[in-house]
Structure 1
Amino acid sequence: MSVAEQFVLFLASFIANWFSALSGGGAGLIQFPMLIFLGLPFGVALATHKVASVALGLGATIRHWRESHLERRFSLIILSAGLPGVVLGANTILKIPAHYAQLALGFLTLGLGLYSVFKPELGMEHMPRNREGRALATGVVGLFVVGFLNGSITSGTGLFLTMWLIRHFGLDYKRAVAYTLVLCGLVWNGTGAIVLGLIGTIAWGWMPALLAGSLIGGYVGSHYAIKKGNRWIKRAFEIVTILIGLKLIVS
């Protein structure tokens, strides 16, 4: 790639991951289509984006770790329930047509944003629930499904984890975004990147700009999310989900 193309890639990656770290997902809205626009085939762009998105998780982890919002037991539940779905999704996506899956994902993502808009108090207070028994089992199934989406369709699936943590488990936006960025961004995406790297192709020459943009964008976005609080994060979540939903439906 030329220097100009590397700069465009860095800028797009920084903006995408800044928004993603602020709202709890959605880096694929800009970064993934940009890779295809610049010439990568769908499968290569998918694997390359997944590797780069690990840097988002790393940047967010560096900033969120100091806040100590993550509970060890709940983190293990999210990882153990979601990782099998990530592996299954990553092994499935390269074998099926992406058009219908992306269309369905577009409507679901748009629905998330509209649901949040019409629920003004959703995610404003931290009220943990559904951590035992049947309610926990339902939550685990939901985490597996979100993990499958994360491993297969890349555009905005972290937003599903953010909303599931808020709606089912009672987290506020700030804590839900922290779990999403650290566990989904770093561990889930890292697992998906390994699987896609083994069965697909990664454009390693594109990585310097992508990794730099993801890492810096993830850190800066997380910093703003922590400083601004739940109301600001909620508005960012709604804007990003609605934009991603419309983008996926139109494309």
Structure 2
Amino acid sequence: MGFEIFDIEIGIDIFDIDLLHILVLMGVGMCAGFINAIAFGGSMLTVPFLIFLIPKIPTIPSVTDETVLANGTNRVAILLQNLSAILGYKRKGFSNFRHAITLAIPAVVGASIGAVIGTETPGQAFKPILAIVMVTMLLLTFFNPTEWLYKRINPSGGQYRIITSIALFFVGMYGGFIQIGTGLLIITALRILDGEDLVITNAHKVFIVFFYTIIALGVFLSKGQVDWVLGLTLAVGTSTGAWIGSHMAVKMGDKWIKVVLVIAVVASVTKLLWDTIMGNG
């Protein structure tokens, strides 16, 4: 079953995936959404899991590059999760949409380029890149990156706008390519250059990610590199986890989140590098 939007065919068949896969994927999504709500790095769980899950679904052709499909499919959950966050900020009275959209423009341009690169990167090259990114982002969680967020350069006038736009362009390019850890990069850039408090900065972050993800998702869709059943299933999980996380400001949660990320990243990186060495994918 499927339908078309413009020239993009969108196929949705709920029988493409069995109940166990749905439940496990939703569970992974909940963990990722929870982590994203109180820290960062949820995509370090979702992208590798999608890479491992896709070959196990019989209706997905074996010739499909699971790494590219996982990279594109993850954008569905990212889009809906950030839309939910935008609505949440709106309910809390955040209304500086004009400035947020202005910040998003260079990121959108960068993301369109990054997404094209992502769709053209073969799995055999993408897997080691993903492994390196995951290890790097994992290490950042142990160096308390929030300490950097209180440092401000905040240059004035046109200098500020140019530097901020350049920074967000490259962050957007990275986000369009791989997404993992983009939230931290955006928050860091905005705190250093924009100088707003963390609440407003985080609100700007979800706007930026939402808008550039629309473009990135469109690029992956145009290449047929999105599985809607997996993406929407994951989105249900991430949205639920984000809601739970947003209502649990528990300091002790930071420690076990790091433990979960370490286990997941070590296992995922090992599998990704093994596949690369053995030539699988």
Name the TM-score, length of structure 2 as normaliser: 0.71
Offset, 1:108: 5.0
**1:195-228 C-alpha deviation (Å, 9 max, x unpaired):** 111123222232442121122223333444xxx4
Offset, 1:157: 1.9
Of residues 25, 32, 38 in structure 1, which corresponds to 2:53? 38
Map of 2:278 onto structure 1? none
Unmatched segments (≥5 aa) in structure 1: none
Offset, 1:2: 1.5
Offset, 1:164: 1.4
SS of the counterpart of 1:94?
Answer: helix
Map of 1:63 onto structure 2? 88
SS of the counterpart of 1:46?
Answer: helix
* Structure 1 residues 190 and 145, CA gap change in structure 2 (3 angstroms): same
Map of 2:44 onto structure 1? 29
**1:11 aligned partner, one-letter code:** G
Q: Are 2:176 and 1:151 aligned?
A: yes
Higher relative contact order structure (alpha carbons within 8 Å, sequence separation ≥ 6): 1
**2:243 aligned partner, one-letter code:** Y
**1:116-147 C-alpha deviation (Å, 9 max, x unpaired):** 45x74x4469x893462112211111100100
**2:26 aligned partner, one-letter code:** F
Name the TM-score, length of structure 1 as normaliser: 0.79
Q: Sequence identity, in percent? A: 21
Q: Are 2:126 and 1:98 aligned?
A: yes
Counterparts of 1:5 and 1:249 in 2: how far apart (Å)?
21
Map of 1:75 onto structure 2? 100
8 Å CA contact 1:142–1:164 kept in 2: the answer is: yes
Tell me whether 70-79 or 155-164 shows the greater mean CA deviation. Answer: 70-79
Q: Are 2:24 and 1:8 aligned?
A: yes
8 Å CA contact 1:21–1:60 kept in 2: the answer is: no
8 Å CA contact 2:107–2:212 kept in 1: the answer is: yes
Counterparts of 1:128 and 1:66 in 2: how far apart (Å)?
31
Map of 1:215 onto structure 2? 239
**1:38 aligned partner, one-letter code:** L
Counterparts of 1:108 and 1:172 in 2: how far apart (Å)?
26
Map of 2:34 onto structure 1? 18
Map of 2:10 onto structure 1? none
Map of 2:187 onto structure 1? 162
* Structure 1 residues 59 and 99, CA gap change in structure 2 (3 angstroms): same
Unmatched segments (≥5 aa) in structure 2: 1-16, 56-65, 273-281
Map of 2:223 onto structure 1? 199
**2:43 aligned partner, one-letter code:** G
* Structure 1 residues 44 and 81, CA gap change in structure 2 (3 angstroms): same
CA radius of gyration, larger in: 2
Map of 1:134 onto structure 2? 159
Counterparts of 1:210 and 1:115 in 2: how far apart (Å)?
29
Q: How many residues align?
A: 238
Counterparts of 1:138 and 1:37 in 2: how far apart (Å)?
39
**1:66-92 C-alpha deviation (Å, 9 max, x unpaired):** 223452343122211100001000001
8 Å CA contact 2:153–2:193 kept in 1: the answer is: no
8 Å CA contact 1:57–1:183 kept in 2: the answer is: no
